[in-house]
A and B are shown apart, each in its own frame.
Chain A
Amino acid sequence: MHAGTRVVGGRPANTRSGTHPSDRLGDALLRGVCLLAALLAVLAIVAISYQVIHGARPSFARFGLGFLGHSTWQPNFGVFGAATFIYGTAVTSLMAMLLSVPLGISIALYLSLMAPRRVRAVIAPLVEMLAAIPSVILGFWGILVLGPFLQAHLEPFLHSTLGFIPIFGPTPTTGSGLFIASLILTIMVVPIIASISRDLFLAVPRELQDGATALGATPWEVVRGVVLPSSASGIAAAAFLGLGRALGEAIAVTQVIGAGNFIHTSLFQTGDTLASRIADQFQGATTRLQISSLFYLGLILLVIGLLANLAAQLITRRFDVSKVAAR
């Protein structure tokens, strides 16, 4: 930083005439390199989509859209269908959302409105640290620690008390299944929803809350009448981001879901999701058609993943929580 300190008649820096040629070159070069990097980022999305579509082509030519509704997956006979995995993805993600949205919101309410400052300074980082645990470790813990526990205690209990609902069937011999997969996904999604919602709640104007309190509202009535309504769209965006995460999680789900080939009503039975089937079968895949069918599953995943994230972005476009969401 020594040269370039000439005074140049008050023009904005980037339209200066009579600058040193090296400076003009430097400006152009930096701009070009930055543009190139930015284009690479955009190109990545296009290239990923292209590659996945390309890989799925043979399978698409063979099975067409019927792939989506077909529940047979028999590599030995060259018959592939995605219905079981779409079902598994839908059930586990739905369960995870049902659990993690209320949990995440109430954690966020605690952290933003209830907790004393010192307690918040300890608990908030801990909740975020939950998101930092690698999925492979969470899945490993799921098989060896959570699974046996669920199998011995929670699942029999749910079956005996709520067994009249078909989703709570008898406990099979393995600890794997849709239920534990949903719980693992919940653990992954809760910190996402909690940390975004917390920042949303902290941004709700203090005067509105004080106004409600002054009118005689109890703390919960302030939350229900002021805090939640004014951050509803942001919470929806957070939920969609969490959903995107739950839909696409491959490894932890593969470890605990049991790689089932059939659709079961009971949550305690095994199943498989789109992402986990890819992770599970890719190494053992032998035929070109099987690999292509796995790419087809990836294509479905890409589409629904992009849709969930686009939904979140469209909502946040109006209410700028994306700053928080990018974490």
Chain B
Amino acid sequence: MTDPFDAPLEDLPGDADLADPPDLSGPLTPSGNLRRRQMISRFVGAVQTASALLAVAVLGIVVYSVASRGASVLSFSFLTENPPAFVGLPGGGIAPAIVGTAVIVALATAIAMPIGILTALYMTEFAGRWQARALRLALDLLNGLPTIVVGLFVFGLLVVGHHQSGFAGAFALAIIMLPLIARATQEVLLLVPTGLREAADALGVSRWRTVFGVVLPTARGGILTATVLAVARAAGETAPLVLASSIYANKVSINPFGHEGLPNIPVYIFTASEEADRYGFARAWGAAFVLLMFILLVSLASRAIDRRTTLSR
């Protein structure tokens, strides 16, 4: 391919060929074909537009598939009843899975949020440049870890020799949420104007009072957005839960420290997808619909918070 800047700069429409390679030593004479170049450009533009439309279309198809199959299953009893006792029976609901997911995600958030925010605070308020950089690397690596590996870790740490539990699942999800919350919070804290901190310093306010009185309140919206997005991510996370909380009784339970795992929506869908049972499929579509709506609404909501607070991206 010739570099566009080697090509002559002006051109007459209708010049027929691009056969002659541009002679760099020669004078600048028009020899390219403007019409051809513009056609290529237009073609590439069309390809770009098409790929963007393709991505939107895929999203549309997935959401439509889930909504059209899931909405017909959805009813009050679907949300409040237990699933049938045996595979292959119609009816029933996913109440245990909804409650279990809520408990697991809430517990995971309760673990990950304070640690994440404090880690971010350490990076922006206390750490030197080298430390902050190392921490950032560690968090980014943690974020990039395959979630199934996190599941193996929790399995080895909490499940082997004991039993599955909602807590093990929540612990795994907390590890996945931690880097998301910490990195996003760090970005928001960096946006808090230095002037505010200096003003507090100038008034003789101690560091910890500055943090709790000035820095955190200023960044509140952004931190909230970060947490909400992490919740959306954790709610649909399946791989670690397959290892940590996938053996459970089909009844509503809110005890994350029981002798078996807590039912949850992702594992419910995963299990149903492995069994050839059309009633199971129908319930799984319903569960997928509930989960997807929750996640999309939460993402939209966080976007709205994001837009209203000035101190966030």
- Interface on A for B, CB 8 Å cutoff? 1, 3-8, 12-14, 16, 19-20, 23-24, 26-27, 29-31, 33-38, 40-42, 44-45, 47-48, 51-52, 54-55, 103, 106-107, 109-111, 114-115, 123, 125-127, 129-130, 132-141, 143-145, 187, 190-191, 194, 212, 215-221, 223-225, 241, 244-245, 247-251, 254-255, 275, 278-279, 282-283, 294-295, 298, 301-302, 305-306, 308-310, 312-313, 322-323, 325-327
Contact A279–B59 (Cβ < 8 Å): no
Q: Cβ of A248 and Cβ of B115 under 8 Å apart? A: no
Top-7 shortest CB links A-B? A248-B146, A134-B236, A309-B144, A37-B118, A221-B4, A23-B206, A34-B122
Residue A41 contacts which of B9, B66, B138 (CB distance < 8 angstroms)?
A: B138
Instruction: Let me know if B224 is at the binding interface, CB within 8 A.
Output: no
Asked whether, in the complex, the Cβ of A251 is within 8 Å of the Cβ of B127, the reply is no
A223 to B206, CA, bound (A): 51
B257 within 8 A of A: no
Residues of B within 8 A of A298 (CB): 148-149, 152
A126-B56, A323-B187 known; A250 vs B146 contact (CB < 8 Å) = yes
Beyond A125-B303, A219-B44, 12 additional contacts (C-beta under 8 Å) are: A13-B210, A26-B208, A41-B179, A44-B175, A129-B59, A133-B59, A137-B66, A138-B62, A140-B288, A275-B146, A308-B144, A309-B145
- Contact-residue size bin, chain B (C-beta under 8 Å from the other chain): 35 or more
Which of A30, A129, A212 is within 8 Å of B211, CB to CB?
Answer: A30
Residue of A nearest to B38 (CB): A218
Given A52-B149, A305-B144, A135 and B203 contact (CB-CB distance below 8 Å):
no
Cβ–Cβ contact B236 & A295, under 8 A? no
> Looking across the interface, which residue of chain A has its beta carbon closest to that of B70?
A137
Q: Which of A16, A126, A215 contacts B59 (CB 8 A)?
A: A126
Contact B141 A310 (CB under 8 A): yes
Say yes or no for B218: interface residue by CB 8 A criterion.
no
Interfacial chain A residues near B87, Cβ < 8 Å? none
Q: Is the CB of B127 within 8 A of A250?
A: no
B56 touches A248 (CB 8 A): no
CA distance A241 to B52 in the complex (A): 20
Query: What's the Cα separation between A26 and B210 when bound, in Å?
Result: 11
Please list 7 pairs of residues, one from A and one from B, whose beta carbons are closer than 8 Å in the complex, sorted by A's number: A48-B145, A52-B156, A129-B299, A132-B232, A140-B284, A218-B38, A220-B40
Please give the residue numbers on chain B whose beta carbons come within 8 Å of chain A beta carbons, in ascending order. 3-5, 9-11, 37-38, 40-41, 44-45, 47-49, 51-52, 54-56, 58-59, 61-62, 65-66, 114-116, 118-119, 121-123, 125-127, 134-153, 155-157, 175, 178-180, 182-184, 187, 200-201, 203-211, 213, 232-233, 235-239, 242-243, 246-247, 266, 269-270, 272-274, 281, 284-285, 288, 291-292, 295-296, 299, 303
Task: Judge whether B142 and A106 touch: CB under 8 Å.
Answer: no
B-side contacts of A29, CB under 8 Å:
208
Q: Which of chain A's residues have a CB closer than 8 A to the CB of B38?
A: 218
* Across-interface contacts of B40 in A (CB, < 8 A): 218, 220
Contact (Cβ within 8 A) A187 B58: yes
Contact of A30 among B152, B208, B266, B274 (CB under 8 A): B208
Main SS at interface, chain A: helix
Known contacts: A34-B119, A126-B59, A134-B237. The answer to whether A295 contacts B152 by CB under 8 A is yes
B178 touches A141 (CB 8 A): no
Question: Looking across the interface, which residue of chain A has its beta carbon closest to that of B274?
Answer: A255
Q: Which residue of chain B lies nearest to A35 when distances are taken between CB atoms in the complex?
A: B122
Q: Are A51 and B157 in contact (CB under 8 A)?
A: yes
B239 in contact with A107 (CB, 8 Å): no
Say yes or no: B141 contacts A309, CB within 8 Å: yes
Residues of A near B152 (CB, < 8 A) are: 51-52, 55, 278, 294-295, 298
The distance from the CB of B281 to the nearest CB of chain A, in whole angstroms, is 7
Closest to A145 in B: B65
- The answer to whether A301 touches B242 (Cβ under 8 A) is no
Closest-by-CB residue of B relative to A122 is B56
Contact of A326 with B183 in the complex, beta carbons under 8 Å: yes
- Nearest A-chain residue to B124, judged by Cβ: A34
- Residue in B closest to A144 when the chains form the complex, CB atoms: B281
Contact A48 B9 (CB under 8 A): no
Which residues of the other chain, B, contact A220 by a CB distance below 8 angstroms? Answer: 37, 40-41, 44-45
Interchain CB contact under 8 A, A41 and B51 = no
Beta-carbon contact of B238 and A251 below 8 Å: yes
Which B residues are in CB contact (< 8 Å) with A19?
204, 206
**Bound complex: CA of A224 vs CA of B79, how far in Å?**
53
Distance, CA A322 to CA B239, complexed state (A) = 25
Residues of A within 8 A of B242 (CB): 250-251, 279, 282-283
Q: What's the Cα separation between A63 and B275 when bound, in Å?
A: 33
Closest chain B residue to A308, Cβ basis? B144
Knowing A126-B59, A130-B59, A302-B145, the reply to whether A283 touches B246 (Cβ < 8 A) is yes
With A13-B204, A111-B52, A251-B270 known as contacts, the answer to whether A44 contacts B178 (CB < 8 A) is yes
**B135: which A residues are within 8 A, CB to CB?**
38, 41-42
A275 CB contacts on chain B under 8 angstroms: 146, 148, 239
